[in-house]
A and B are shown apart, each in its own frame.
Chain A
Amino acid sequence: MKRTEPPYLPDCLLLFLLSARARETVSGDLYEEFLDVKLPELGQLRAHLWYMGQVLSFVPGRIEAVLLQGHALRLLCFCTALAGGWHGMMDILLRHPGYRSQVVIAATIVSQAALTLTALRFHRYISLRAIAMVGSAAILWLAGIALKATIGGPHLEGYVLLIALALIVQAVLTVLTIPRARVARGKSA
């Protein structure tokens, strides 16, 4: 006997991609179309491919929603602030040659993370958002210098590489999220 249910894994993916509010209604629409129209019209294989295509069309919306909510950016800011704070504290304690410049870099990373979190929280203040955007250019510049020094240097410092990559992603997410988060919150308000 042939299975007449929509494919299981794409169906699970669809439920993950949809908001709680849309989960039942949208998946019901797709279910109905799949059984009533696509399966008799296209046959099982092509109907399954059609279903997969429909599910994938919800991916951009989900990515946008995650960006708008700012969860990814918040998490990243928390991690870079923690790493920068730890790094700065160790520099102050150990006082290696040139530690002052390292402390300034660590303070910049922590400040930018704090600023971005504040801008996400108080999104109505244009000046905060603007400073956070400028700050993202600063951490991008710092990350570039760190990457260049690490990759071109005699020792590959894994943690520096990791922090630099995190800063790059943070800068990109800041530019993508902060202006759009304002729009999304403004709409929902």
Chain B
Amino acid sequence: MLALQIIAFIVWIYVIWVLSRTELHFFKFCLGSVGLFFFLMIWLQPLMTQPLTMAVAAASGVLGDFSGMYDSYYKYSILFISKDTAAISLSIDYECSGVIEIMAFSCMLWFFPLYNTIEKLILNSVGLIVIFCANILRLFIICTLIYFFGNDIFYFAHTIFGRIIFYLLSIALYFYVFTRPQIIRQKVGDFTYGDSNQ
């Protein structure tokens, strides 16, 4: 299986190299980011998940301690919300940790043709922090709603409200990193206003 992965990786590098030489930037971006995401999910995601879930739980716990609404058991990646008769353990697994979003963002960024390497390093760092903080905010909102409205609100808090907040922040990040510079930096050609005296 590992041999197959290595062969696929070499083929992917060759295809990216060919697309670079032929200056097919759009296809290089698509194949490059999807391919890199695929290989990172296979090789790096198992290593990243546990420390990231612990980091998310620990950072969420700071807000929980500050507000007094929930406790963090960061060693086990658990947030524990307890009030009156309601008690719920929020388990942070790899789909909650933001690791997939971080990898997807990073992969797109590193094959995005508009930035140089230094810009990508800076934007990648900023993007990681934004996604991490957006996830913390999402979990804080879920825990706050459960604390005030009980276990019955969990489905709405988690499935609808928390995700909307997270998606809005992610879309804002993608807009500022990908969409806005494409519009600003693309060549629109020279233009002049017509001479009003003529």
Q: Do A and B bind each other?
A: no
